[in-house]
A and B are shown apart, each in its own frame.
Chain A
Amino acid sequence: MSKIKQISSKAPEDKDLLDGLKNGDNISISSIYRTCFPSVSHMIQNNNGDEEEAKDIFQEAVMVLYDKITHTNFELSSKLSTFLYAVSRRLWLKQLNKKNATFTISDSNGLEIPDLEIDIQSHLDQEIKFDKMENALQQLGEPCHTILKDFYILNHSMQEICDDLGYTNTDNAKTQKYKCLQRLKKLFFN
Chain B
Amino acid sequence: MKEKEFIESADRYLNGELSTSERVEFEKLCEQDEKLNSLFLTHKDFVATLREKHTRADVKAKLAKVMTQESSQGFFFNMWKNLKINGAAAAAVAILSSVATLYLSGYFSSLRKTTSEYSALKREINNVKRNVNAHNQAINTINKESQTNQTALQYGATGFMLTKDGYVVTNYHVVNGADSIHLQNSQGESFRASIIHIDPSKDLAILHISDTSFNPISLPYTFSNQSLDLGEGIFTIGYPRDEAVYGEGYLSSATGYSGDTTAYQISIPVNPGNSGGPVLDKNGHIIGIISGKQKGLDGAAFAIKTKALMETLDNIPENSLKGKIKLSSKNSLANLPRTEQIKKMQNYIYIVKVY
Contacts and interface: CB of A to CB of B under 8 A. Distances in A.
Interface residues of B, number: 29
A167 interface: no
B150 interface: no
A82 B332 CA distance: 105
A129 B63 contact: no
A30 B66 contact: yes
Contact of B47 (A8, A70, A152): A152
B313 interface: no
Interface string A141-162: 0000000110111010000000
A67 to B, nearest CB: 8
Contacts of A149: 54
B180 interface: no
A21 B59 contact: yes
Contacts of A122: none
B64 interface: yes
Interface of B is mostly: helix
A174 interface: yes
B56 A152 contact: no
Contact of A185 (B46, B56, B62): B46
B50 A153 contact: yes
Contacts of A51: 71
Contacts, number: 76
B340 interface: no
B66 A153 contact: no
Interface string A163-190: 0000000000011001001001100100
B49 A175 contact: no
B8 interface: yes
Contacts of B8: 174, 178
A70 B70 contact: no
Contacts of B57: 130, 134
Nearest to A153: B54
B63 A133 contact: no
Interface in B77-93: 82, 85
B85 A8 contact: yes
A181 B7 CA distance: 10
A126 B59 CA distance: 14
B47 A55 contact: no
A24 B59 contact: yes
Interface of B: 4, 7-8, 11, 15, 46-47, 49-60, 62-64, 66-67, 69-71, 82, 85
